[in-house]
């Protein structure tokens, strides 16, 4: 198969959502392995570093193309490059955070965003008393500046770090300002127009999920007298909730 045909075939491949969610983890593992001066890596080793099994790694990578060499493994640098390209990480994405409370503050300070190509370009708040302050070299601006800032900074990714009640309105304003990817930290369900991607991180929900499994282990919901059979761990090695 010639080069042109191959690239067309790759483009039309639809990558499953579950795979997309794992690519960043593989990428991180590859960076580590590259720092450790490895030049090639097997699916087995990559699986170990990423905390999944080797079959899954191979299947996932196969959606990107046939970048491995049988009998050898994958070239670390080449795979890193292909993966970065696929994830759109060949350039920075300036993000705009709305909500300069506890969490917004912490996120703005969090170096992990900048380090991975997501510099915090602006921090907005609705509270006039917060506007004008400076956090980690970033001016706190008014939410009403959103349209201007999106245009000025060319941001397409927004982060919602407001209280729950404000989340939907902020999402609406982001969408109408031209933001097309939103990460929501507010403990509220928000809806976005077609063409806008949304992901959510709900800190309390994560603890509540842990609480469920914790309690299963402790003997299940107790509405009767003591239960003698202590159910074993519901441990499926592949289940996301359990190690």
User: Footprint of DNA on residues 4-33 (CB under 7 A)?
Assistant: 16-19
- Shortest approach of DNA to residue 16 CB, angstroms? 3
> What would you measure as the largest C-alpha separation in the chain, in angstroms?
71
Residue of the chain from 61, 120, 124, 179 that contacts DNA (CB under 7 A): 61
Which of these, 127, 121, 34, lies nearest to 84 by C-alpha position?
34
Q: Is 214 in the site for a copy of itself (CB under 8 A)?
A: yes
Residue of the chain from 25, 34, 58, 82 that contacts DNA (CB under 7 A): 58
Question: Which of a copy of itself, DNA, none sits in contact with 207, Cβ below 5 to 8 A by type?
Answer: a copy of itself
Q: Is 68 in the site for DNA (CB under 7 A)?
A: yes
Residue of the chain from 6, 28, 59, 85 that contacts DNA (CB under 7 A): 59
Spatial CB neighbours of 81, under 8 Å, sequence gap ≥ 6: none
Residue 114 CA from chain centroid, whole number: 14
Are 98 and 160 a contacting pair, CB within 8 Å?
yes
Q: Is 72 in the site for DNA (CB under 7 A)?
A: yes
Say how far apart CA 82 and CA 85 lie, in whole Å.
5
Are 104 and 97 a contacting pair, CB within 8 Å?
yes
Is 133 exposed, middle or buried (CB count within 10 Å of its CB: 0-12, 13-18, 19+)? Answer: middle
Residue of the chain from 23, 73, 83, 96 that contacts DNA (CB under 7 A): 73
- Shortest approach of DNA to residue 158 CB, angstroms? 24
Q: Is 66 in the site for a copy of itself (CB under 8 A)?
A: no
Query: Which residues lie near DNA (CB under 7 A)?
Result: 16-19, 41-44, 52-56, 58-59, 61-62, 66-74, 236-238
């Amino acid at each position: 198969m010639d080069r042109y045909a191959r690239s067309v075939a790759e483009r039309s491949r639809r990558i499953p959502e579950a795979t997309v969610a794992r690519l960043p983890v593989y990428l991180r593992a590859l960076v580590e392995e590259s720092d450790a001066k490895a030049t090639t890596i097997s699916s087995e080793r990559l699986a170990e570093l990423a905390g999944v099994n080797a079959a899954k790694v191979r299947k996932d990578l196969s959606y990107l193309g046939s970048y491995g060499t049988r009998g050898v493994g994958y070239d670390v640098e080449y795979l890193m490059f292909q993966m970065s390209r696929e994830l759109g990480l060949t350039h920075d994405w300036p993000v705009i955070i709305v909500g300069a409370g506890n969490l917004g503050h912490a996120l703005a300070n969090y170096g992990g965003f900048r380090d991975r190509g997501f510099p915090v370009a602006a921090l907005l708040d609705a509270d006039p008393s917060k506007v004008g302050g400076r956090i980690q070299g970033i001016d706190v601006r008014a939410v009403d500046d959103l349209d201007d800032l999106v245009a000025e900074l060319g941001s397409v990714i927004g982060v919602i770090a407001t209280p729950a009640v404000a989340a939907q309105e902020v999402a609406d304003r982001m969408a109408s300002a031209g933001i097309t990817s939103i990460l929501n930290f507010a403990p509220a369900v928000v809806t976005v127009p077609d063409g806008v991607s949304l992901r959510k991180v709900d800190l309390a929900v994560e603890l509540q999920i842990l609480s469920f499994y914790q309690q299963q282990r402790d003997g299940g919901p107790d509405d009767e007298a003591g239960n003698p059979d202590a159910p074993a761990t519901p441990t499926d090695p592949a289940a996301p909730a359990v190690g």
